[in-house]
Amino acid sequence: MSGRDPNFDILFEPVKIGPVTARNRFYQVPHCNGMGDRHPRGMAAMRGVKAEGGWAVVSTEEVSIDHTTDFAPAIEGRLWDEGDIPYHARMVEAVHEHGALAAIELCHQGIACANLESREPPLAPSAQTLNVSSPLQAREMDKSDIRAVRDSHRASALLAKRAGYDIVYVYAGHDLSLAQHFLLTRYNQRRDEYGGSLENRVRLLRELIEDTKDAVGDSCAVAVRLAVDELLGADGIEAAGEAPDVIAMLAELPDLWDVNISDWPNDSQTARFAEEGYQDGYTAFVKSLTSKPVVGVGRYTSPDRMAAMVRKGTLDFIGAARPSIADPFLPKKIEEGRIEDIRECIGCNICVSGDMTNTRIRCTQNPTMGEEWRKGWHPERIPPAASGDAVLIVGGGPAGLECARALGQRGYPVTVAEAGDALGGRVRLESRLPGMASYMRVADYRLAAFQNLPNVETYLDSALSADDVIAYDAAHVVLATGATWRRDGVGKNQRLPLAIPESAPAIYTPDDIMAGAAPADGPVLVYDDDGYIMAGLIAEKLARDGRDVTFMMPHSVVSPWTEMTLEQYAIQRRLLEAGVTILSGRRLTALDGAVRHACVYTDAEAELAAAAVVLVTSRISNDGLWRGLQARAEAGDVPWRTLTRIGDALAPATVAHAVYAGHRYAREFDAPVPDGTPYKVERVNV
């Protein structure tokens, strides 16, 4: 049946978890998705696809247990009463349909929750400020509050059992859990039996486990998700400190241990700052302290690494959130011996940005993520061609490559004409910047797919003019010509071009630096009016090259949008460690010999000496070919029936947007979208 490598047989052994059994060792740990209880059909369809793809356990996101832990405005789960059971049952049914176990992560967020919707005063071990941005403070819980939380957790566990869940979590991780807050001395200054000694601080976690076992342990497994290190040294829980003692105290109480590092930016580090398996050194000790199965994470994408982790006894399950998002069929592809078909996670955390912006999940590598129900998109299946029409795609970057791959999978004849000497477009260049090598997986996955698609042809060094496109006589032309970084300073704060006289310092853009240009000798200013990752990458590269770099931006912090991808702190720290001088809250005003800039708050002006300035402000679409073809169309007959721009050629954005745009064109080609909203909308009946 299977052509898999026997070395990976160990990954497909069944594993018993208390009263239930997982069919293999692939475990999708709880992760946010931006759909939750607001878009339950979408959430259920997404989880169902994971089960179809071979994950033995498929878990929910955080699920609130009552009104004292209201997650708003975040879109997560809720299980407060019987009225919430139907949407959970929908997910359970979707997961069970494919033979997987369904797990639910019950959660009380404690001081990580402002209760903005319920308006209940937040709860904490001791009276204190919240650990999220809010002017509210939490009150110290008395014994009746603790009993109430235990009762709510027990009640939600019973509701979860009625909904059909196989595994019920007790959550103590990511600095987002009341049980974890009780564990930590920086939050817990109580003097009763719930504070002081470690045994006392563990008490609530123990009680929640015992309550859950008593309520549902006859048919449901009880899992504990615990952060074993916070990377805070003595200020937090440590793998070299109290964490082993916590595990030892509770070792045999739950049916499964799900362990990681905390908080969330540490647990979900981007590939720029952490390699595959980066948590191994922190979690490896757990298995030696318990006979119960252990699941751990580390953005595992290599089957060899996965099998090795199980073989050496570090883990019983290969846990994954992001790799299961990038490729829901990762287990099945390993099982069927199709490793080359795996769509590897690039560790960019665009998936996380959905949760941070309260929108549905998305993925750079997997453009179908989050679209399973509302658009009917499946990550492995796509409707066959509805005609024999040929498509010419101009541009071999992420949008063009995904468009060609998906059209080719449908069966259409496709030609890709790339002006450069290699395919990949922007990801080929950006992947050369510090820590960005994984981005090349975006191109590599699609180029590998072309080998099995004889109907897709690619041509390099093929810069097409309007005459060339017309001569090609294609019925459908897709322009995926990308975008270029602006050289005139126009960005989020500077809406009009800067005057750049001949006396100005040498001006560069990220395109110049990525192409190998070396700025003029002397101090270099990197000016960021973009706010995402590029300016930080350029500054880091130049600092590594030994340059004296100043980073200036109108924002208060470096790369502010990367707070949505959990890497802002790491980026700013990296630049400071590299010796980069950071000037915040400053905007460029002139480049006339010296660099003139002003405070964004007071307009107070100053000057800065710089031999070179790298402007990282915004990009502009490469639309010369589009304009030329439009002019020909207006002047007379043209051979094409459709002419379309996609990706950055239409509107510059993230790589994820470009891949999505390419995939969307391929999905909707020969399949016109009905008038109105081009996807199904979940509605509440009132």
Is 329 within a domain? yes
What is the spatial distance between Cα 551 and Cα 537, in angstroms, rounded to a whole number?
A: 11
What is the spatial distance between Cα 370 and Cα 42, in angstroms, rounded to a whole number?
A: 7
H-state helical runs in 327-381: 330-335, 350-356
Query: What mean pLDDT is predicted for residues 302-317?
Result: 96
What is the spatial distance between Cα 344 and Cα 613, in angstroms, rounded to a whole number?
A: 36
Is 309 within a domain? yes
* Structure token digits, residue 209: 């486990």
Q: Residue 130 maps to which CATH number?
A: 3.20.20.70
519 and 469 both lie in a single domain: no
473-531: per-residue pLDDT in tens?
A: 999 999 999 999 999 999 999 999 998 888 899 999 999 999 999 998 999 999 999 99
Percent of the chain with pLDDT over 70: 99
pLDDT score at 2: 54
DSSP 13: -
Query: What mean pLDDT is predicted for residues 653-678?
Result: 91
120 and 200 both lie in a single domain: yes
636 and 541 both lie in a single domain: no
- On the CB side of 279, CA atoms within 13 Å amount to 30
302 and 208 both lie in a single domain: yes
What is the spatial distance between Cα 447 and Cα 442, in angstroms, rounded to a whole number?
A: 9
Backbone dihedral angles phi then psi of residue 62, each to the nearest 5 degrees: -60, 140
564-623: per-residue pLDDT in tens?
A: 999 999 999 999 999 999 999 999 999 988 899 999 999 999 999 999 999 999 999 999
Is 682 within a domain? no
Percent of the chain with pLDDT over 90: 94
Residue 38: pLDDT above 70? yes
Is 501 within a domain? yes
Residue 637: pLDDT above 90? no
pLDDT score at 43: 97
DSSP 491: S
pLDDT score at 512: 97
Is 180 within a domain? yes
Round the average pLDDT of the chain to a whole number and report it: 96
The boundaries of the domain holding residue 184 are 6-356
Amino acid at 639: P
Known catalytic residues?
32, 171, 174, 267
427 and 547 both lie in a single domain: no
What is the spatial distance between Cα 655 and Cα 78, in angstroms, rounded to a whole number?
A: 33
pLDDT score at 672: 73
Write the CA distances from 129 to 137, 171, 342, 511, integer angstroms.
4, 21, 45, 45
Q: Residue 527 maps to which CATH number?
A: 3.50.50.60
Domain boundary among 356, 381, 406: 356
Q: How many domains does the chain have?
A: 3
What band does 625 get if pLDDT is binned at 50, 70 and 90? Answer: very high
474 and 508 both lie in a single domain: no
CB contact set of 173 (below 8 Å; sequence gap of 6+):
180, 225, 226, 227, 260, 262, 267
156 and 63 both lie in a single domain: yes
pLDDT score at 1: 43
Residue 369: pLDDT above 60? yes
Domain boundary among 618, 633, 660: 618
Query: What mean pLDDT is predicted for residues 388-393?
Result: 96
Lowest-pLDDT range, 232-236, 253-257, 680-684? 680-684
67 and 157 both lie in a single domain: yes
170 and 307 both lie in a single domain: yes
Amino acid at 495: R
Is 683 within a domain? no
248 and 121 both lie in a single domain: yes
Is 594 within a domain? yes
Residue 686: pLDDT above 60? no
477 and 512 both lie in a single domain: no
Is 151 within a domain? yes
DSSP 292: S
Supply the pTM of this predicted model. 0.96
What band does 133 get if pLDDT is binned at 50, 70 and 90? Answer: confident
* Structure token digits, residue 228: 């074993």
What band does 636 get if pLDDT is binned at 50, 70 and 90? Answer: confident
Buried b (16+ CB within 10 A) or exposed e, 111-150: bbbbbeebebebbbbbebebbeebeeebeebeeeebeebb
421 and 275 both lie in a single domain: no
Q: Residue 426 maps to which CATH number?
A: 3.40.50.720
Task: Give the number of other CB atoms < 10 A from CB of residue 468.
Answer: 14
User: Token match 């990220």: residue?
Assistant: 510
